[in-house]
Amino acid sequence: METVKKVVGVLLSVVLWAIILLTALFTFTTLATKDSRNVSRIAGFTPLVVLSDSMAPTFHSGDLIIIKACDTSKLVEGDIITFHTIIENAYALNTHRIKTIDESNGYRIYTTKGDNNAIADTRMISDGDIVGKYVTRLPILGRLINFLSSATGFLLVIVVPMLLFFVYQVYHLIMVSINLKKAIAAEEATEASQRESEAAAKLAEAEAALAEAKRLKEEAEAKLAQAGGAPAQDEGETNQ
């Protein structure tokens, strides 16, 4: 039974940490791209959810990609970059491969293209548009992040497990409190029993000492009685 409790405790701890990490990732991913013109980073890295298959098979819609801030002067043709652009008359982030790099008046101009697109992007970009360089992808995780963005997903994946864990922790604390009280009561009972045993032992010692004293007294009284009853010598016989 104790082993089962330990296993359950370990599993719950693992689930809790997974939820915490997932929540942190979801929160940062959401906040990182809340403003498409300003991207947040942790140690230079930013997670982004892929929304289309324009870069398939390198990564797909629903993947989570990691990009890192980079020195744009070191970028070469073939690198995959994330950059600010305009899509459907709105600021957006896009991640495509560099097709060509041209220089004009000392500035680098990049032409980009999705691996799964037939033609290059119509809008060319400059160094100032580049957010970072593609590092790696986490398959399918982006779908989970998107699911968490919905009320149902957030409730099922974050709120309910956290609530269950909280209830378990309250139950655990109650059981610990009950077991602690039982342990204290058992300890007090043991101490009381020990005190009673010690008192009984002392009483037995006292009774034994009293019995010995009575025996010695009786022996002394017997000797005195014997000494008092012995016949005295005849005085006349002494004078002859």
Q: Is residue 235 included in any domain, yes or no?
A: no
Average pLDDT over residues 77-105: 92
**Residues 26 and 98 placed together within one structural domain of the fold:** yes
Residues 29 and 39 placed together within one structural domain of the fold: yes
Asked whether residue 236 is domain-assigned, the answer is no
pLDDT tens for residues 133-151?
Answer: 999 999 988 888 778 777 7
pLDDT, mean over the chain: 83
Distance between CA atoms of residues 106 and 58, nearest Å: 32
Contacts of 148 (CB under 8 A, 6+ apart): 22, 26, 154, 157, 158
Q: What percent of the chain has pLDDT over 70?
A: 85
The residue range of the domain holding 175 is 151-226
Q: Are residues 81 and 159 in the same domain?
A: no
The verdict on residue 233 lying in a domain is: no
Distance CA 83, CA 108 (A): 14
pLDDT of 26 strictly over 70: no
Last residue of a domain, one of 118, 149, 180: 149
Quick one: pLDDT at residue 67? 93
Residue-level pLDDT at 1: 64
Min mean pLDDT across 15-19, 49-53, 115-119 is at 15-19
Please give the pLDDT value at position 15: 72
Kindly state the average pLDDT of the residues 156-185: 84
Q: Are both 138 and 22 inside the same structural domain?
A: yes
In this predicted structure, the answer to whether residue 81 has a pLDDT above a threshold of 50 is yes
Domain-located, residue 238: no
> Within this chain, do residues 9 and 116 fall inside the same structural domain, yes or no?
yes
Do residues 134 and 204 share a domain?
A: no
Of 80, 114, 149, which residue sits at a domain end?
149
Region 57-66: mean pLDDT is: 94
Residue 164, domain member (yes or no)? yes
Q: Are residues 122 and 66 in the same domain?
A: yes
Output the pLDDT for position 98.
97
pTM of the model: 0.58
Residues 12 and 117 in one domain: yes
The Cα 83–Cα 75 span in angstroms is 13
Q: How far is CA 238 from CA 166, 227, 228, 231, 233, in A?
A: 111, 22, 22, 15, 8
- CA distance to 22, 105, 213, per residue, from 218 (Å): 91, 130, 9
Q: Is residue 78 domain-shared with residue 166, that is, in the same domain?
A: no
What's the pLDDT score for residue 172?
A: 81
Residue 240 — pLDDT band, cuts 50, 70, 90?
Answer: very low
Of 43-57, 65-79, 90-104, 208-222, the least confident? 208-222
Residues 117 and 61 in one domain: yes
In a domain, 239, yes or no: no
Do the domain assignments include residue 92? yes
Boundary-marking domain end, from 123, 149, 175: 149
Residue 62 in any domain: the answer is yes
Domain total in the chain: 2
Domain co-membership, 131 together with 16: yes
Q: What is the pLDDT of residues 62-78, one digit of tens each?
A: 999 999 999 999 999 99
